[in-house]
Amino acid sequence: MATGGEARGLEAIVLAAGMSVRFGAPKLLASFNGQPLIHAALAAAFGAPARGVTVVTGGHAPAVTAAVEAFGRPVRVVHAPDHGEGLSASLRAGIGALPVDAAGVFVFLADMPWVPARVADRLAEALVGGAQAAAPVFEGRRGHPVLLTAALFEPIMALTGDHGAGHILAGLGERLALIPVSKDGILRDVDHPGDLA
């Protein structure tokens, strides 16, 4: 785990509660570079300047939890019992499980294995100027992971439906730091088996 997270009070969550309907099988267990797909997201989360990593499960929870444990690093696993509601349920479960003194959280999506290295460090650096959130941008498109400060936890806990924090970020204006990156891994996720080719 990168240094600096303990002092800054930053945490990381990996949202892994999807049902993999379009994939046709539990996609987070699919092989990616010889390991379960979720291991790539876990590696990115542990590479962030965070003091702890939380994984939110939902669909296929026992198998996903086993894959997380096989990663071999200390991870807090929390289940979103209402995961069928969509992305907001995962976010609420993840934010709700954070230590009360968390100053902010990186949000990683478990089906995005191509996140470039060091992106999280750049997001953390962007908060020094007083931003309430930071997100990477590739060719004008905002991607993941995002970094949210504790000031946004309350509105996130009020989210409902299959929506993430996108509209909250959009409403921040200059309080959202946008970090240009040179690789599209911040946009690429896995929906179908062919996406892993």
- DSSP-derived secondary structure for 40-102: HHHHHHHTSS-S-EEEEEBTBHHHHHHHHHHT-S--EEEE-TTGGG-HHHHHHHHHHTS-TT-
pLDDT at 5: 55
What is the CATH number that goes with domain 5-186? 3.90.550.10
pLDDT at 6: 56
Q: How far apart are CA 98 and CA 179, in angstroms?
A: 25
The series of mean pLDDT values per 10 residues for the chain, 197 residues long, is: 62 93 88 95 97 95 96 96 90 96 97 94 91 96 96 94 88 95 95 89
User: What pTM value is reported for the model?
Assistant: 0.94
Q: How far apart are CA 94 and CA 1, in angstroms?
A: 19
